[in-house]
Structure 1
Amino acid sequence: MENNILAKIKGGLIVSCQALENEPLYSSYIMQRMAVAAMKGGAVGIRANSVSDIIEIKKEVPLPVIGIIKKVYPDSDVYITPTMKEVDELIQTGVEIIALDSTNRIRPGNVELEPFFREVRKKYPDQLFMADCSTYEEGMKATELGFDIVATTMHGYTPYTAQAVLPNFDLMRRLVEDTGKPVIAEGGIWSPDQLKEALKTGVLAAVVGTAITRPMDITKRYVAAIHK
């Protein structure tokens, strides 16, 4: 089962279809249509946030889905699938891959990644789990902990990587060479040329989100270019 899912996304584009409550396209129906459009455009997988979005997307899109739940807790900066509650909810959707923040930051309830993931893996031994990392060291640690997939998702989005220039092809290449795990490139891929460059690093697949599915941000980028 695991190899079948990974084979389906190998060498391809995964499109992230997400909209938060404060964004104009916030709607499970709209995200479903985004995912259908991505599928018809040739995407091999979808990354989606929230149970409601995933359920709607799965009604119409047979592609593998990387599922997350973004949830902010007052005692932690970790917001991508931060606790067992979110993992349990994602399991119920039948999502093929579950991604969770795998940075070295403390999770809600003052919990570290290692004991948290140990508990997750014990509870769901057959589920594919993806580590959303921000550094090479975090990717190596996730490998050691037994994650099935390592991703560069959080690079540039933690305080200690905030100055990073994205996409970081060198980070992708090093993780591919040293983890021995399937690596998914994610973060800052804005053009087809950057996507091709990412895939040349040897990653299993690459995720593109904002550049395809966030028209407000795409518009801002064009408007900013006018005023340069």
Structure 2
Amino acid sequence: MNVFDDLAGGLVVSCQPLNDEPDDPMRDPHVQARVAAAVVRGGAVAIRANGPADVAAIRAAVDVPVIGLHKDGVDGVFITPTAEHAVGVAAAGAHVVAVDATDRPRPDGRTFADTVRAIRARTEALVLADVATAAEGVAAVRDGADAVATTLSGYTPSSPRRDGPDLALVAELAALVPVPVIAEGRYREPEHVDRAFAAGAHAVVMGNAITSPLWITRRLVGAVRRPAGTHGA
């Protein structure tokens, strides 16, 4: 059975420390493994995790599919940017490898199709293409992706920034490609999840809104309006 069959209609939870916070206290494979075990107990159908160490620890802690990636850098193509990153994540135990499949240049000079071929030749992992536009999703499927995700919408020059999820891209991809479409990127509310499935998503990924105490607390503190003269307790 294709691993993506297990994700149908379900919530995938991304268990990752904040990428732009090197001192995030959650940056520990054992911590991420415990977070993953908790969300699986809560009903998550799969886990998305960053880096070989976290992938290996989470794979040992849960019995659901693990989508692995390897972030390297903060600009340009940094989600599993090279074939070697992809093979390393698969070797750590990822059932699926998530790879940046945008049309931007990759640091190893290979195309996305080249990376897919390397994954196929050296691992048994499936390939999830992280894209920002419908055209990139169509091209990724042509180049061998087993599924596409809207992860990068709003984060590349070819896709406008937005505050909420890109539901229009989910619907467009669902109508264009014959593989599962995974809704990801700024999904923070139950309503977002419902709307993604209505748009044709195969599964929905939520991350910080569930698994990052740092992100959640900052968001809540930013919304608090404390009365004058209150010093807290």
Superposition map of 1:1-228 within 5 A: 1-2=1-2, 5-19=3-17, 20=19, 21-72=22-73, 77-124=76-123, 126-227=124-225
Question: Which letter maps to 1:161?
Answer: S
Which amino acid in 2 is paired with 1:139?
A: G
CA deviation profile, 1:156-200 (whole Å, cap 9, x unmatched)? 111332423421111101101111111000001111111111111
Contact (CA 8 Å) 1:67, 1:97: kept in 2 or not?
Answer: yes
* Paired residue total: 223
Alignment-mate amino acid for residue 31 of structure 2 = I
User: When the two structures are superposed, what TM-score results if normalisation uses the length of structure 2?
Assistant: 0.89
Percent of paired sites with the same residue? 37
Name stretches of at least 5 consecutive residues in structure 1 with no aligned partner.
none
One-letter code aligned to 2:129:
A
Distance in 1 between the 2:96 and 2:62 partners? 15
Deviations 1:32-72 (A, max 9, x none): 01101100111000000111111111112000010001112
Amino acid at match of 1:187: G
Cα distance in structure 1, aligned partners of 2:150 and 2:225: 31
Question: Of Structure 1 and Structure 2, which has the larger fraction of its residues in helix?
Answer: 1
Question: Could you list the per-position Cα deviations for residues 73-132 of structure 1 after superposition, in whole angstroms to 9, with x for gaps in the alignment?
Answer: 9xx7211111121122122123111100001110003333344434444444x5310000
Q: Is the 8 A contact 1:105 1:112 kept in 2?
A: no
Partner SS for 2:63: coil
Distance 1:140 1:168 in 2: 17
For the Cα contact (< 8 Å) 2:133–2:158, is it kept in 1?
Answer: no
In the alignment, the residues of structure 2 paired with residue 28 and residue 115 of structure 1 have an alpha-carbon distance, to the nearest angstrom, of 30
Do 2:7 and 2:45's aligned partners in 1 also have CA atoms closer than 8 Å?
yes
Using the size of structure 1 for normalisation, the TM-score is: 0.91
Q: Distance in 1 between matches of 2:100 and 2:4?
A: 20
Q: The residue matched to 2:158 in structure 1 has which SS?
A: helix
State how far apart, in whole Å, the 2-side matches of 1:123 and 1:51 are: 16
Q: Which moved more, 1:138-147 or 1:112-121?
A: 112-121
Q: Contact conserved, 1:68 with 1:81, CA < 8 A, in 2? A: yes
Deviation of the 1:220 alpha carbon = 1.3
Aligned counterparts of 1:217 and 1:83: Cα–Cα separation in 2: 28
2: CA distance between counterparts of 1:63 and 1:49? 16
Report the Cα offset of residue 227 of structure 1: 4.8
Superposed displacement of residue 201, structure 1: 1.5
RMSD over aligned Cα atoms = 1.9
